[in-house]
Amino acid sequence: MQYTHLGRSGLSVSRLCLGTMNFGPQTEEAAAHSIMDSAHDAGINFFDTANVYGGVEHRGWTEEIIGRWFAKGGERREKTVLATKLYGTMTDRPNESKLSALNIRRALDASLKRLQTDYIDIYQFHHIDRNTPWDEIWQAIEVAVQQGKILYSGSSNFAGWHIAQAQAAAARRNYTGLVSEQSIYNLLTRSVELEVIPAAQEFGLGLIPWSPLHGGLLGGVLRKEREGVRRTEGRAAETLKTHREQIEQYEDFAAELGHEPGDVGLAWLLHQPAVTAPIVGPRTQEQLDAALRALDVRLDEDALKRLDAIFPGHRTAPEDYAW
């Protein structure tokens, strides 16, 4: 396994992050525990979750599954860099969502209880809170740090100017601020290259891409359709219809390289200088094994240029739109 620092922090994390959103709703607990053990065996020390994961009827379920896994001992907690999130609505009561000082305090304590741990390594804001001032947010986070309940803070789904706003407020308080940003980022969805990635690099945030294969559309979807092992429906079907020619070129190029399409898609992210660790969210052991293959894929300059030609990005960002 390869490791790197998370942004400008001194924290070392694996180049793949284990996403746990499927644990509970899609993956039963015993299988989830086995996947987490296998991730440790492969050297993955970076796990990501959120307080709302588990589905509408059982928010917090995923954290509970991870907590019972930690409770098995064997230094499972000590070997894990644990990231969770808050923002989403947990109940229908007021103050049970977003980033008020009250919800930060309550949500953090609830996550700690479900996760059966006394601290969280990276506590992440799942979304920007447009109604809570940053001084209130940072004051609550500073208290949690002083209490030893969290070590670092991260953001998710922030715009570039949100990152700048957060870091400016933190600097006024002589506080570290954010060390990471989670955004959707893959060959099909590259809008974060415009301003989010430049902001993350300027302020020293590590980028943690979610949906690195765009819901499976970069994982060999056309071949799977031909083989009858996958049927694309809903929004994914619309996206596939719009980008079918690009995806055909992409799958053909992956075959030329001698790799699976999903391996190439993950490897491309690992070759991007702003990226710390893509989040892989396996439902099964086989999917975890497939994600690990990407660590051995090397893309030379010609291959990266070919992928840029198939899926054009924003190489002149953040002045992409300027004359």
**What are the φ/ψ torsions at residue 315 (nearest 5 degrees)?**
-75, -15
With residue 134 as reference, give the H or E element that holds it.
Answer: helix 134-146
Catalytic (active-site) positions: 53
- In terms of Cα–Cα distance, which of 80, 124, 130 is closest to 104? 124
Q: How far apart are CA 124 and CA 107, in angstroms?
A: 12
For residue 177, give the DSSP letter: -
Within 8 A by CB and 6+ apart from 137, the residues are 99, 101, 104, 125, 129, 169
State the Cα–Cα distance between residues 320 and 44, nearest whole angstrom. Answer: 35
CA terminus-to-terminus distance, the chain: 43
Under 8 Å between Cβ of 211 and 236: no
Neighbours of 272 (CB within 10 A): 16
Q: Contact, 65 vs 36, CB < 8 A?
A: no
Tell me how far apart the alpha carbons of residues 206 and 174 are, in angstroms, rounded to a whole number: 20
CA atoms within 13 A on the CB side of 227: 7
In which residue are the tokens 């804001």 written? 125
Task: Tell me how many helices (H) and strands (E) the chain has.
Answer: 11, 10
